[in-house]
Amino acid sequence: MRRLSIIVRTIETIVRSPLVKSYNIGITVDSRRRRSQYKNFDPSWPHFLIIETGLDASRALNAEREIQEMLKANKRSILFQKYRGDTREKKHSPSLGGIKQENSRSYDLYICWGNQEDYKH
């Protein structure tokens, strides 16, 4: 739990920037593919950071769930307010992104975000 609270504080450091408009977090085994997906969203979330955890699938899913709970615990917090608007009010369902659960793979956490200027077309 201590390690997860450090990760949440790292996320909060990024999110507190007045430039950050919205962000998303998750787990991935393929950071290049995931980065490409978010970069091509409309609007784009071109900023992407991997937090290398090396967790197996079950631990990564637990970490994602716990981090989501921390981010959404206080609806007045900046972490909740800037979290992606289409999902922040919904119950989070941890997911491996369609990949069959296999504990031999190594999963990392990521945060991606869009700045204010990324939303101006």
Mean of pLDDT over the chain:
84
Q: What are the residue ranges of helices labelled H in the chain?
A: 2-15, 31-39, 57-72, 78-81
Lowest mean pLDDT among 11-15, 28-32, 61-65, 100-104: 100-104
pLDDT in tens, 39-95: 777 667 889 999 988 888 888 889 889 888 888 899 999 999 999 888 888 877 777
Asked whether the predicted pLDDT for residue 100 surpasses 60, the reply is: yes
